[in-house]
């Protein structure tokens, strides 16, 4: 696995180096090491996570026909105009966020602690972790403002509330203020991708339950769908 990761990482870095000038022009940044590291990071981490999130969103919709059906009908009624209809795009976006409330892309993370670290728990409570240790981080899935209603019910416009510090994402991308492309670009990518899937005939699973999802480590590498 380590050898495979190194081979793919080297190939990706070489590809980014070949296109450094184009990236510099597109991003308006100097064609230096920082640009290269940023591009590699986005491709290496961002792409698999985005694809994973898209698969998870479709899983949620497929198992909730009462949610999937009306959204599909709305996009179908607009056809290609669905991408240009602001109200439709906002509805699809809120469905994406609500689906990820139930299925966060990273439900369990293991992180190295490179130096002594202190972090908040709740209220005034804090805890510390010494350098060299590991910490497990569990995403607080299915958490939202308790005033919004039933946490188990799918209500896409729960996602429009802003009760948490990170805004209208209900902790699916983590707690606290920080810079994270997932809160903007990835949500936009998933909104566009889901719109495209909804313009197709109504989809369902192409395989039996025990063969629907194939994994490469923690990443979904195969999830076949077909028209109903």
| Cβ atoms 104, 52 nearer than 8 A | no
Instruction: Pinpoint the residues of the chain covered by CATH 1.10.630.10.
Output: 47-104+140-227
Q: Within a 13 Å sphere around the CA of 13, how many CA atoms are in the beta-carbon half?
A: 9
Are residues 168 and 160 in contact, defined by beta-carbon separation less than 8 angstroms? yes
Q: Which fold does the domain 47-104+140-227 belong to in CATH?
A: Cytochrome p450 (1.10.630)
| Weakest mean pLDDT among 10-24, 38-52, 83-97, 129-143 | 129-143
pLDDT of residue 11: 93
- What pLDDT sits at residue 166? 46
Q: Which burial class, exposed, middle or buried, applies to 132 when counting CB atoms under 10 A from its CB (0-12, 13-18, 19+)? A: exposed
pLDDT tens digits for range 156-176:
776 665 444 445 555 565 555
**Stated pTM of the model:** 0.74
pLDDT of residue 173: 57
d(CA 119, CA 105): 23
Q: Give pLDDT, residue 66.
A: 93
Average pLDDT, the chain: 83
What confidence category does residue 136 fall into, taking pLDDT thresholds of 50, 70 and 90? confident
For the stretch 206-215, pLDDT in tens is: 999 989 999 8
Q: 49 with 174: CB under 8 angstroms?
A: no
Output Rg (C-alpha) for the chain, integer angstroms. 20
pLDDT at 79: 92
- Of all residues in the chain, the percent with pLDDT exceeding 90 is 39
Q: Within 13 Å, how many C-alpha atoms sit on residue 129's CB side? A: 14
């Amino acid at each position: 696995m380590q050898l495979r990761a190194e081979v793919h990482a080297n190939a990706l870095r070489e590809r980014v180096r070949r296109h450094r000038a184009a990236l510099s022009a597109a991003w308006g940044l100097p064609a230096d090491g920082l640009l290269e590291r940023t591009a590699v990071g986005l491709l290496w981490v961002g792409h698999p996570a985005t694809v994973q999130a898209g698969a998870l969103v479709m899983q949620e919709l497929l198992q909730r026909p009462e949610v999937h059906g009306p959204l599909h009908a709305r996009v179908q009624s607009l056809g290609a105009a669905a991408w240009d209809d602001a109200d439709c795009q906002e509805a699809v976006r809120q469905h994406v966020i609500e689906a990820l409330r139930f299925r966060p892309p990273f439900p369990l993370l293991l992180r190295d602690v490179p130096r002594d670290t202190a972090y908040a728990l709740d209220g005034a409570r804090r805890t510390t972790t010494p350098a060299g240790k590991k910490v497990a981080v569990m995403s607080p899935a299915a958490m939202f403002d308790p005033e919004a209603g039933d946490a188990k019910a799918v209500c896409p416009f729960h996602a429009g509330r802003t009760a948490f510090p990170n805004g209208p994402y209900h902790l699916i991308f983590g707690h606290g203020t920080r810079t994270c492309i997932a809160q903007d670009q990835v949500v936009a990518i998933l909104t566009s991708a889901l719109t495209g899937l909804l313009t197709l005939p109504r989809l369902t699973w192409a395989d039996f339950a025990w063969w629907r999802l194939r994994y490469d480590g923690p990443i979904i590498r195969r999830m076949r769908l077909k028209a109903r």
